[in-house]
Amino acid sequence: MRLVLIHGRDQDGKDEALLRKTWTDGLEVGLSSAGLGAISEHEVVFPYYGDELAQMVAAAKQGLAHGTAKGGNSGILSDPNYMRLLAEILEGAQEGEISVDVATTKGLQNTALAIRLAQLADKTSFGCRILSLMTEDVILYLTKPGIELQLNAKIQQAIGTEPCVVVAHSLGSIIAYRVLRQLGAQAKVRRFITLGSPLGLETIRKLLSPPAREVPKGVASWVNAFDRKDIVALHPLDTSTWDVRPPIENHGSVTNHMANHHGISGYLDDVLVAHRIHEALNGT
């Protein structure tokens, strides 16, 4: 059985072989912890697109900067409505309505305050701009057809039409979803596993629709795993965000030990994640 691993954002400048090894090593740790066999008997496909994405994002940003210089948007931080929203959330935190854990080692993006801010902003007109500040490559992929077409072609070739298991992280889960929708029943994906996925964000859902959201026709089952402190994966893919049939299995008890709660190793070495990958690869 083929195992297709689709990485996420911010992977430019990485050595492809070492990055692939990071993925497989993390999964091997999870399999070992679960008392399961290694993946060495399976073909591993790792379509690397980090450098291509970085080059396309740089070109797109250069064009956007040129537009701003001619009188475009001066930025979200200068928007008084956004600043009022931020002030309201900060006030709530000071009054104890929002539990703020001091992120001395994991960074501002992992404080309860930052996560709450992102959750609330996602439901407003600021959602797209907030996401742009956090993950500009995600927004550019979703809004620039040229970037989408080039990345989709690479991922589609990796998934193909033969039986496989697809594991996708972060931005990779968005690309994989779009490609699987395009492939339709031609795809033969025994299980689609999304890790640290932003697909639950309302901002992302709006940019993906139409067409209506669904489990891609070529996907037999879908498992979504996330750490509740991962600011990229703010919402589960449940009936409140993805009311689809068959329902997506959500695993929200991951404790990602990586510095930002989003790192791939901290997902792949999770025992349940490893188990779901193993059983799909081995037809159990």
pLDDT grade, residue 144 (50/70/90)? confident
Please say if the pLDDT value at position 148 is more than 70: yes
Start-to-end Cα distance in the chain: 13
Strand partners, 194: 168, 224
Please say if the pLDDT value at position 74 is more than 50: no
* 156 found inside a domain: yes
In a shared domain, residues 137 and 150: no
Identify the domain containing residue 99 by its residue range. 71-141
* 180 found inside a domain: yes
pLDDT score, position 69? 44
- pLDDT tens-digit profile of 214-243? 999 999 999 999 998 887 888 899 999 999
Name the nearest CA neighbour of 215 among 170, 253, 179, 180: 180
What's at 194, amino acid-wise? Answer: T
Coil/strand/helix, residue 219: strand
Please say if the pLDDT value at position 17 is more than 90: yes
In a shared domain, residues 110 and 202: no
What mean pLDDT value characterizes the chain?
82
pLDDT grade, residue 86 (50/70/90)? very low
pLDDT grade, residue 143 (50/70/90)? confident
Give the list of residues 6+ apart from residue 7 with CB closer than 8 angstroms, or none.
19, 23, 46, 48, 49, 50, 169, 170, 172, 264
Report which DSSP code applies to 193: E
* 64 found inside a domain: no
pLDDT score, position 33? 96
How far, in Å, CA of 13 to CA of 49, rounded?
10
Please say if the pLDDT value at position 98 is more than 80: no
The position carrying tokens 């690397």 is 48
Please say if the pLDDT value at position 107 is more than 60: no
Q: Which of 52-61, 128-137, 194-203, 270-279 has the lowest mean pLDDT?
A: 128-137
Give the list of residues 6+ apart from residue 189 with CB closer than 8 angstroms, or none.
159, 163, 164, 165, 166, 180, 216, 218, 219, 220
pLDDT score, position 263? 94
How far, in Å, CA of 198 to CA of 234, rounded?
7
In a shared domain, residues 148 and 270: yes
Considering the chain, what percentage of its residues have pLDDT values greater than 70? 74
How far, in Å, CA of 98 to CA of 102, rounded?
12
In a shared domain, residues 37 and 170: yes
Please say if the pLDDT value at position 162 is more than 70: yes
Three-state helix/strand/coil letters over 129-177:
HHHHHHCHHHHHHHHCHHHHHHHHHHHHHHHCCCCEEEEEECHHHHHHH
In a shared domain, residues 258 and 189: yes
Helical H segments across 160-243, by residue range: 171-183, 202-208
pLDDT grade, residue 25 (50/70/90)? very high
Q: In this structure, what CATH number is given to the domain that contains residue 16?
A: 3.40.50.1820
Name the nearest CA neighbour of 221 among 166, 173, 159, 152: 166
3-state helix, strand, coil in the chain (%, to 5): 50, 10, 40
Contact (CB, 8 A) for 142 and 204: yes
Please say if the pLDDT value at position 70 is more than 60: no
- pLDDT tens-digit profile of 29-47? 999 999 998 998 899 999 9
Please say if the pLDDT value at position 96 is more than 90: no
pLDDT score, position 231? 78
**Counting beta carbons within 10 angstroms of the beta carbon of residue 211, is it exposed (0 to 12), middle (13 to 18) or buried (19 or more)?**
exposed
pLDDT grade, residue 114 (50/70/90)? low
Name the nearest CA neighbour of 261 among 236, 235, 237, 226: 226
In a shared domain, residues 75 and 48: no
pLDDT score, position 65? 54
Residue 47 Rama label (left phi>0; alpha psi -120 to 50; beta): beta
In a shared domain, residues 82 and 196: no
Please say if the pLDDT value at position 123 is more than 80: no
* 233 found inside a domain: yes
Please say if the pLDDT value at position 73 is more than 70: no
